[in-house]
């Protein structure tokens, strides 16, 4: 599935070179990190106690530069927390800001909803990412490594009996590194 998403993003690159001149951009981001904590009504876990708490993510984005320094966009992707335990499909709004004239430093924020899979006794809620990146290449194709923070809220549940599902609010907090390719 992830290979198909990456291939799809690469196939779009030919049309995106033309769009870049018109302030439209398309990109893909690949990230990996550690989940610092998973706290809530059901349980409290931290990375100090469970070293296997990690996150992997793949995102596809499209955006438009409203001003030369500010871009607004939308995105969707796939994230995996603690491989095999919580998979989400994030759908989000993307905001990018270049605070300096050279436009190499990039502040990025995403806010949206997390759809969870499998959906049994789980419901996605708020998802937020904040990151700081630096453009390594600033040509028709830009490569942007970044470091950031991820928040994911969700309702987890355990079935005490076959007829009584319990729903409890949980919050994951993660740090990650990612590499973005922007066309």
In angstroms, the Cα distances linking 142 to 10, 17, 92, 114 are 13, 11, 22, 27
CB atoms within 10 A of CB 161: 6
Q: Please, are residues 52 and 12 in contact by the beta-carbon 8 Å criterion?
A: no
- What is the reported pLDDT for 84? 59
> In the structure, what pLDDT confidence band is assigned to residue 151 with cuts at 50, 70 and 90?
very high
Q: Is 15 helix (H, G, I), strand (E, B) or coil?
A: helix
Assign 9 a pLDDT band (cuts: 50, 70, 90): very low
Contact 133, 180 (CB under 8 A): yes
Beta strand extents in the chain (DSSP E only): 24-40, 45-46, 54-65, 70-81, 86-97, 105-117, 123-134, 142-161, 164-182
Angle (CA) 92 134 78, round 5°: 30
Range of weakest confidence among 20-29, 82-91, 115-124, 134-143: 115-124
What does the pLDDT read at residue 83?
59
Q: What is the pTM of this model?
A: 0.80
Q: How confident is the model at residue 60 (pLDDT cuts 50, 70, 90)?
A: very high
In which band, very low, low, confident or very high, does the pLDDT at 155 lie, cut at 50, 70 and 90? Answer: confident
**Can you give the CATH number for the domain in which 141 is found?**
2.40.160.20
> What pLDDT score was predicted for residue 7?
47
Q: What band does 65 get if pLDDT is binned at 50, 70 and 90?
A: very high
**What is the domain extent for residue 155?**
2-182
Whether 111 contacts 128, CB under 8 Å:
yes
CA–CA dist 169, 20 (Å, integer)? 41
Task: Tokens for 22, please give them.
Answer: 């018109």
Reported as a pLDDT band with limits 50, 70 and 90, residue 26 is: very high
Q: Which of 127, 31, 110 is nearest to 75 (CA)?
A: 110
Q: 52 or 88: whose pLDDT is higher?
A: 88
DSSP 8-state class, residue 47: T
Residue 122 pairs with which residues in a beta bridge? none
pLDDT of res. 121: 53
As for how many domains the chain has, the answer is: 1
Q: Which tops the pLDDT comparison, 10 or 111? A: 111
Between 7 and 92, the more confident residue is 92
């Amino acid at each position: 599935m992830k290979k198909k998403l990456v291939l799809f993003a690469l196939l779009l690159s030919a049309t995106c070179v033309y769009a870049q001149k018109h302030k439209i951009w398309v990109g893909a981001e690949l990230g990996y990190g550690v989940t610092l904590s998973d706290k809530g009504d059901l349980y409290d876990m931290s990375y100090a106690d469970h070293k296997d708490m990690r996150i992997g993510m793949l995102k596809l984005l499209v955006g438009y530069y409203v001003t030369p320094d500010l871009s607004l966009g939308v995105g969707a992707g796939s994230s995996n927390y603690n491989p095999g335990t919580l998979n989400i499909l994030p759908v989000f709004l993307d905001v990018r800001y270049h605070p300096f004239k050279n436009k190499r430093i990039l502040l990025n924020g995403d806010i949206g909803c997390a759809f969870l899979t499998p959906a049994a006794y789980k419901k996605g809620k708020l998802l937020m990412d904040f990151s700081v990146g630096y453009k390594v290449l600033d040509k028709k194709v830009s490569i942007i490594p970044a470091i950031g923070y991820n928040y994911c809220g969700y309702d987890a549940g355990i079935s005490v009996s076959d007829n009584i599902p319990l729903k409890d609010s949980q919050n994951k907090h993660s740090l990650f590194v990612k590499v973005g390719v922007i066309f």
